[in-house]
Structure 1
Amino acid sequence: MLQRKNSLTPDVIAIRREVFMIEQGFKEEFDDLDSQSVHLIYHEDNVPVAVCRYYPAETDGIYILGRIAVRAAYRGKSLGKYLVEMAESEIIKDGGHKIVLSSQLRAQTFYEKCGFSAVGDVYLDEHCPHIAMEKKLETERG
């Protein structure tokens, strides 16, 4: 079951803390953008197992997708891909025509399989190499 929330919920906090802070060692996980974001939460058997967020960029029709996290015990079930697809669908409903994101370099291939293309150079976010990626969405408007 997928839920759409307009605020940071305890389920979102727990999953992101577990994946990004405990597993990957990030310190700056939560920010002011959380209050401006749509949060998608996927539950399996009433257990919250995967999350992502998106919010509008400053340019009209462009949205920023991020904080895609799947609990370790639920990986390998294509839940990340499912979340990206659901976020794309929601962004189109919200009037978006393009998604941009900051991918961990090790996840670049995953996003490429989801239709994203790398743009620019590799950069560090905290201790981790990242690359900017983007995808033009197929909307009824073109």
Structure 2
Amino acid sequence: MSKIVEILASDPLMSAVYALRHEVFVVEQRIPEDLEVDEDDKVAVHLAALSDGEVIGTLRIVYHERKAKIGRMAILASARKLGIGRELMEHAAAAAFGAGADEIILGAQVTARGFYERLGYVEEGAEFDDAGIPHVMMRKLLRRT
């Protein structure tokens, strides 16, 4: 089981987060390096999944009024299929709810659509291209009682 921590762009762990994202997005998925880091990284809340002090998973949350947008989820290749992605997404949903968000939106790679559906996300709209990879927008409403 991993430990999930919330960090900001100024946190020393960000270098490891960026290194993991570079490995997954630039090296594995061949996304152009200049598209991987953007202005949202400066204002996002970043989640890092740690195992023995090593960053093995990450995602970021960018808030837009009462919406939380999740993006840049990356899991170390050797840590995939171990539930790290689910842990990150559950932590992100709890954080978004706690921050007052009513819903979460995300652009899912089409190959990961089923993963997000199992977590309660609903597909919206047509497929679109993002950095050469087919994506679909997905949304999850956060319940308030």
TM category, shorter = over 0.9
Moved over 3 A (4+): none
Identity percentage of aligned residues: 30
Counterpart residue number, 1:101: 106
Q: Once the 2 structures are TM-superposed, how far is the Cα of residue 97 of structure 1 from its aligned partner? A: 1.3
Counterpart residue number, 2:20: 15
For residues 116-135 of structure 1, the aligned pairs below 5 Å read: 116-135=121-140
**Alignment partners' CA distance in 2, 1:74 and 1:18:** 13
Q: Once the 2 structures are TM-superposed, how far is the Cα of residue 15 of structure 1 from its aligned partner? A: 0.8
- Tell me how many residue pairs correspond in the alignment: 138
Counterpart residue number, 1:6: 8
Q: Deviation string for 1:6-50 (max 9, x for gaps)?
A: 216101101100111100011111100000100000101111100
**Which blocks of at least 5 consecutive residues in structure 1 are unaligned?**
none
**Alignment partners' CA distance in 2, 1:130 and 1:48:** 25
Of the candidates 89, 92, 95, which is equivalent to residue 87 of structure 1?
A: 92
For residues 50-69 of structure 1, the aligned pairs below 5 Å read: 50-57=57-64, 60-69=65-74
**Alignment partners' CA distance in 1, 2:26 and 2:57:** 15
**Alignment partners' CA distance in 1, 2:86 and 2:102:** 19
Of the candidates 111, 115, 118, which is equivalent to residue 113 of structure 1?
A: 118
Q: Once the 2 structures are TM-superposed, how far is the Cα of residue 126 of structure 1 from its aligned partner? A: 1.6
Counterpart residue number, 1:74: 79
RMSD between aligned residues: 1.0
Q: Once the 2 structures are TM-superposed, how far is the Cα of residue 51 of structure 1 from its aligned partner? A: 0.2
**Which blocks of at least 5 consecutive residues in structure 2 are unaligned?**
none
Q: Deviation string for 1:91-127 (max 9, x for gaps)?
A: 1111111000000010101100010000000011121
